[in-house]
Amino acid sequence: MFSEDNISSFLESLEEAIELNPNTLTKETKISSINWDSLAVISCIALADEYFEVMLSGEDLANVNKIEDILIMISNKK
């Protein structure tokens, strides 16, 4: 998949973008437990492009349950 450092940096940037406390997001974090709104979706799309050079869509992210689902989706698009 990707290096743990790259994943950690992606998650840290996503936390910052959606105004979560540091170290809130892990692979097991459920989307329903955080403020997953349109800003979060747009931020995730931009950060996936920045960190992994993968383009996600809002449709891609509409049915994710956990952060790990996003990482798997990014890996599958690579």
CA distance 59 to 7: 22
Per-residue pLDDT of the chain (78 residues; tens, 9 = 90+): 578 889 999 999 999 999 999 999 999 999 999 989 999 999 999 999 999 999 999 999 998 999 999 999 999 988
Return the pLDDT at 2: 77
| The predicted structure's pLDDT at residue 1 | 57
- How many CA atoms lie within 13 Å of 44's alpha carbon, on the beta-carbon side? 24
Where do the structural domains in the chain lie, given as residue ranges?
4-77
CATH tag, 4-77 = 1.10.1200.10
* Amino acid 78: pLDDT: 82
Q: Cβ neighbours of residue 37 under 8 Å, at least 6 residues apart? A: none
pLDDT at residue 44, as a whole number: 97
